[in-house]
């Protein structure tokens, strides 16, 4: 019996091929991946971690953190990455819920967690960014330097858990999505083939690695294709522009691309070696598509995924990459759009709930069987909570989250429809539409607008422009101009924060 994920990701690698390179020139070959992940797997064993145990991790982005992920996989443990921005009180919830055997944190935060982990009976270790043999990169790294490079990878089946990722928790408490070896491996294989990754590719990696996008999409696709990556600690336009000429692929969120477009150095000459730019985690504005193609000659490939499902759809690698859509269902993934109330499929062009079924879809929420049951149909389709439609050519458009639906005066209003019009108005860079309590209508539509750099927004003119484009009940009852929209680490607009901020707007 094999270890489905570890053997599947690394089964065909070239030991001498470079796996990842840091900006300072330090790099790992694939043989180093095998050696270092074995060292850390031995340390995990010594720390009492057994197959099926959870290992919770809140550490800075580093290649060594990727080695910890792989060490967990090959030792049979369940990897549980946590956002580096979480506070001690937030971390306490995850540790109490997941009951990990081991918690690994940033060495600089050891003091923050020492009392908490002692209270919960969880072993505490640290892992930072390794710079040299003369400096400690945390207790886990130090122990790894002394450990053996020999490790017998623990057999795990396709249904065994490989990871738990907690959802963002914008409504209710955060839920732990349980992802199996098959969930992660099948998706990596499909993306490798669909996006035509080979061992000749070099990925520019500027994403965080506590999230599906940077960890399971970017890293797993690199591993399974035997490719390489330039591993940046985070996004900065300077660093991306410096390293882009050595790369062939970049994965990013929309804010990466808008910031690059704000830099005059980002042009066609700089991107001539690139074969693919991919965007996800948040919607990409149509104007960004247009400006990016005009500037570079490349058309960004947009795709759609979730914490619970990995990637579900993608615009085609070969063929039309249609702005405002997330393309087609990926091979082996089934998608249907249904009436929310009846569950019956709706016709093309009609808005409904997006449901997904396939080997990429998670098995359920950690220790929440009732919630899991609620989110799955009897035939195995997962109810995503996303609202969308198939256009006449089969491309999928994401309209928004069902929880963002505004019900005003008894009418259902989809914010995306209004946002598309707001985004077209003079002086508007981007917008977000929300519903907040209203004494007469239940909810009132509010438009939050961000101005273009150095521009002004004429709210009266925008109000007049709405008259012929939207039914009166859909038109914002108020519009507010702000410097920027609140976003999470992956660039998604935090509409729950906006709703809280303006909850009393119509009560005054």
* 137/143 Cα distance (integer angstroms): 10
Report the CATH superfamily, name and number, of domain 235-401: ANL, N-terminal domain (3.40.50.12780)
CATH fold for the domain made of 405-501: GMP Synthetase; Chain A, domain 3 (3.30.300)
* 17/7 Cα distance (integer angstroms): 17
CA 276 to chain centre: 18
Sign of CA dihedral 106, 107, 108, 112: positive
* 96/103 Cα distance (integer angstroms): 12
Q: Token pair of 102, please?
A: 């081991």
Strand order, beta sheet including 102-105: 123-126, 102-105, 54-58, 78-81, 161-166, 176-180, 364-365
* 75/55 Cα distance (integer angstroms): 11
Residue with tokens 């050595």: 246
Task: Report domain extents, the chain.
Answer: 4-8+27-181, 235-401, 405-501
* 55/103 Cα distance (integer angstroms): 6
Q: Token pair of 203, please?
A: 């990925």
* Predicted local distance difference test score (pLDDT) of residue 508: 61
CB 124 within 8 A of CB 78: no
pTM of the model: 0.85
Q: Token pair of 58, please?
A: 């809140």
* CA angle 77–82–85, rounded 5-degree value: 160
* 237/471 Cα distance (integer angstroms): 42
CB 243 within 8 A of CB 204: yes
CB 277 within 8 A of CB 301: yes
* 407/418 Cα distance (integer angstroms): 14
Q: Token pair of 391, please?
A: 């256009």
The CATH code of the domain at 4-8+27-181 is: 3.40.50.12780
* 433/421 Cα distance (integer angstroms): 11
Parts of the chain with a pLDDT under 70: 168-172, 410, 490, 508
* 238/240 Cα distance (integer angstroms): 6
* 404/399 Cα distance (integer angstroms): 10
- 235-401 with 405-501: one CATH topology? no
DSSP state, residue 209: S
* CA angle 86–92–93, rounded 5-degree value: 90
Comparing CA positions, the residue from 236, 247, 242, 243 lying closest to residue 275 is 247
**pLDDT tens-digit readout, 382-429:** 999 899 999 999 999 988 878 887 878 767 787 888 888 898 898 999
Specify the DSSP element, H or E, that contains 74.
helix 63-75
């Amino acid at each position: 019996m094999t270890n489905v994920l570890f053997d599947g990701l690394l089964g065909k690698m070239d030991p001498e091929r470079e796996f990842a390179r840091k900006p300072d020139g330090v790099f790992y070959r694939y043989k180093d991946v095998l050696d270092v992940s074995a060292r850390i797997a031995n340390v995990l064993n010594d720390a009492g971690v057994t197959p099926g145990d959870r290992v919770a991790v809140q550490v800075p982005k580093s290649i060594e953190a990727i080695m910890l992920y792989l060490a967990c996989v090959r030792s049979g443990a369940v990897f549980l990455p946590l956002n580096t921005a979480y506070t001690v009180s937030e971390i306490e919830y995850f540790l109490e819920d997941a009951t990990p055997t081991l918690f690994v944190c940033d060495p600089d935060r050891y003091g923050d967690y020492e009392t908490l982990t002692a209270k919960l009976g969880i072993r505490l270790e640290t892992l930072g960014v390794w710079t040299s043999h003369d400096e400690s990169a945390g207790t886990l790294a130090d122990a790894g330097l002394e450990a053996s490079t020999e490790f017998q990878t623990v057999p795990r089946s396709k249904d065994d858990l490989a990871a738990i990722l907690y959802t963002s928790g914008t409504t209710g408490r955060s839920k732990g999505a349980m992802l199996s070896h098959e969930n992660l491996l099948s998706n990596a294989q499909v993306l490798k083939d669909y996006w035509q990754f080979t061992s000749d590719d070099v990925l520019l990696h500027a994403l965080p690695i506590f999230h599906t996008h940077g960890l399971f999409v970017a890293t797993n696709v690199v591993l399974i294709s035997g490719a390489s990556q330039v591993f940046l600690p985070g996004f900065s336009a300077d660093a991306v522009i410096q390293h882009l000429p050595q790369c062939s692929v970049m994965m990013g969120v929309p804010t990466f691309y808008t910031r690059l477009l704000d830099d005059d150095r980002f042009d066609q000459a700089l991107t001539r070696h690139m074969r693919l730019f991919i965007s996800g985690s948040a919607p990409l504005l149509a104007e960004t598509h247009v400006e990016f193609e005009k500037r570079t000659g490349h058309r960004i490939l947009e795709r759609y995924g979730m914490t619970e499902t990995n990637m579900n759809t993608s615009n085609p690698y070969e063929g039309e990459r249609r702005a405002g859509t997330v393309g087609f269902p990926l091979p082996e993934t089934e998608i249907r759009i249904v009436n929310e109330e009846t569950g019956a499929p709706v016709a093309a062009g009609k808005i409904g709930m997006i449901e997904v079924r396939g080997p990429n879809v998670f098995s359920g929420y950690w220790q929440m069987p009732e919630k899991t049951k609620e989110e799955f149909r009897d035939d195995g389709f997962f109810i995503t909570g996303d609202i969308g439609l198939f256009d006449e050519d089969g491309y999928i458009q994401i309209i928004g989250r069902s929880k963002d639906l505004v019900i005003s005066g008894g009418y259902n209003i989809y914010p995306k429809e209004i946002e598309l019009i707001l985004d077209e108005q003079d002086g508007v860079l981007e917008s977000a539409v929300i519903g907040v309590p209203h004494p007469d209508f239940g909810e009132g539509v509010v438009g939050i607008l961000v101005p273009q750099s150095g521009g002004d927004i004429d709210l009266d003119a925008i109000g007049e422009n709405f008259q012929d484009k939207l039914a009166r009940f859909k038109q914002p009852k108020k519009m507010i101009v702000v410097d920027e929209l609140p976003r999470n680490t992956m660039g998604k607009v935090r509409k729950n924060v906006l709703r809280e901020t303006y909850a009393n707007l119509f009560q005054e």
